[in-house]
């Protein structure tokens, strides 16, 4: 089955052309073929680390994709089990293979790979994969352009140079040409989508940016951890990794690029008692003479025509429950009571737009498919 080739009406922010210049997102011909070379065959997809939450989301989303077939699922500790035994909610997903160990996957029969493996382990796996494969990495292992920023020795420096950072609406043109795609983190996605264009246009100042971020418990992963037990998280909220979260250098990298000079932020993440969802509340100083209405108008113009990023009407508050299960990002801008400051609020589903959904959005571009394929489902409510 081959996806139809229809042009997209959406436009993206070009980091080279400036924030007000928009680049048309035109679908390119489907480039994927099966290992047999048939142009009409589905693209074979392997999901590495499929026993975690992001892996399950990839499978869920791909089950509605007309151009792909999930042919390999790995989960070393769950090897040999049926996927529906590990994730019973996906029992109706047809033709899903059993979980196997990574070493048992025949990558010669695979066209593209989603890596949903733990941070600091993916680089070792990806460097052993055939260089012909398209790879979407959902870990943090290839997001930072300066290897020293990782705080540990990087095991695949040559691949690090090749990796393209996949914040789709900002780097759409680069994503199309990517072979190895570093999918952004959830907090960096939620915060950079509003902050990047405002910083690029110099409507906000690079100083005193505060990001107060909150995530559902699924953001901590599926591995059994005492801190994530029901009694540890119920009826409360708690901060973690204060002043030391790995997403801080990732956010600063993007904002530094937008500003053209170093940008440093205050960023504090919080774990909140819900399964999925994320909100970033950002406090910014505005440039002289700029108002909160100016910020909102610029974001509305920047993302006009985008399918997944929406600036809400003036005064309407973004809610995490309004993006649950979807690939959408909702945002808005409000005046602060302090003169010269504004409050920006952005919400996403941390497992979809913050991980697997954006990953599939990027793979669609990398393979030359319509960008929104298998991602147009609306949010679930209640």
Question: In the predicted model, is pLDDT for residue 38 greater than 70?
Answer: no
Q: Assess whether 128 and 196 both reside in one domain.
A: no
147 and 165 assigned to the same domain: yes
Are residue 161 and residue 88 in the same domain, yes or no? yes
CATH number at residue 212: 3.30.360.10
**119-141: b or e for each residue (b if 16 or more CB lie within 10 Å)?**
ebebbebbeebeeebbbbbbbbb
* Residue of 163, 170, 189 lying closest to 278 (CA atoms): 189
Domain at 74, CATH number: 3.40.50.720
Please check whether residues 250 and 339 belong to one and the same domain: yes
In angstroms, rounded to a whole number, what is the distance separating the alpha carbons of residues 156 and 160?
A: 6
331: in domain: yes
What local confidence, expressed as pLDDT, does residue 9 receive?
39
Residues 61, 149 within the same domain: yes
Domain identity same for 179 and 191: no
> Quick check: 153 pLDDT over 70?
yes
Do 174 and 113 lie in one domain? The reply is yes
Asked if pLDDT for residue 25 goes beyond 50, the answer is: no
Active site residues: 186
Q: What is the pTM of this model?
A: 0.89
pLDDT band at 269 (very low <50, low <70, confident <90, very high): very high
| pLDDT over threshold 70, residue 50 | yes
Residues 242 and 171 occupy one common structural domain = no
Q: Do 219 and 232 belong together in one domain?
A: yes
In sequence order, the β-bridge partners of residue 14 are 18
DSSP 107-136: GGG-SEEEE-PPTTTHHHHHTTS-TTSEEE
Q: Pick the residue with more confidence: 341 or 3?
A: 341
Is residue 157 very low, low, confident or very high in pLDDT (cuts 50, 70, 90)? confident
Q: Are residues 167 and 238 in the same domain?
A: no
Range of the domain at 63: 43-183+355-367
Q: Are residues 210 and 337 in the same domain?
A: yes
pLDDT digits (tens, 9 = 90+) for 229-258: 888 888 889 998 898 888 899 999 999 999
Residue 372 lies in a domain: no
Residues 177 and 193 in one domain: no
216: exposed, middle or buried (Cβ count in 10 Å: 0-12, 13-18, 19+): buried
In the predicted structure, residue 148 carries a pLDDT above the cut 90: no
């Amino acid at each position: 089955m081959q996806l139809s080739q229809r042009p997209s009406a959406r436009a993206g922010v070009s980091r080279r052309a400036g924030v007000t210049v928009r680049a048309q997102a035109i679908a390119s011909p489907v480039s994927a073929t099966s290992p047999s070379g048939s142009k009409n065959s589905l693209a074979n997809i392997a999901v590495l680390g499929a026993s975690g939450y992001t892996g399950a989301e990839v499978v869920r989303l791909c089950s509605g994709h007309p151009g792909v077939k999930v042919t390999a699922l790995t989960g070393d500790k769950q090897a040999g089990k049926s996927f529906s035994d590990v994730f019973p909610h996906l029992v109706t997903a047809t033709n899903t293979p059993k979980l196997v160990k990574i070493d048992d996957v025949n990558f010669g029969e695979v066209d593209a790979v989603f890596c949903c493996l733990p941070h600091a382990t993916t680089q070792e796996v990806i460097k052993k994969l055939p260089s012909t494969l398209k790879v979407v990495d959902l870990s943090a292992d290839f997001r930072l352009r300066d290897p020293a920023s990782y705080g540990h020795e990087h095991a695949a420096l040559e691949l690090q140079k090749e990796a393209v950072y996949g914040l789709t609406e900002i780097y759409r043109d680069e994503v199309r040409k990517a072979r190895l795609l570093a999918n952004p983190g959830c907090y960096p996605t939620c915060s950079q989508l509003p902050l990047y264009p405002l910083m690029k246009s110099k409507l906000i100042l690079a100083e005193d940016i505060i990001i107060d971020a909150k995530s559902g418990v699924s953001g901590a992963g599926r591995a059994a951890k005492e801190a994530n037990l029901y009694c540890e998280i119920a009826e409360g909220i708690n901060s973690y990794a204060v002043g030391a979260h790995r997403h801080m250098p990732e956010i600063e990298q993007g904002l530094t690029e937008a500003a053209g000079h170093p940008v440093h932020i205050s960023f504090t993440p919080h774990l909140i008692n819900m399964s999925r969802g994320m909100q970033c509340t950002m406090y910014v100083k505005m440039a002289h003479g700029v108002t909160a209405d100016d910020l909102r108008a610029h974001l509305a113009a920047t993302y006009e025509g985008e399918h997944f990023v929406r600036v809400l009407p003036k005064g309407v508050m973004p809610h995490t429950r309004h993006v649950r299960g979807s690939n959408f990002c909702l945002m808005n801008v409000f005046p602060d009571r302090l003169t010269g400051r504004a409050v920006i609020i952005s919400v996403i589903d941390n497992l979809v737009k913050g991980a697997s959904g954006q990953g599939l959005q990027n793979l669609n571009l990398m393979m030359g498919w319509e960008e929104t394929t298998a991602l147009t489902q609306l949010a679930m409510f209640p």
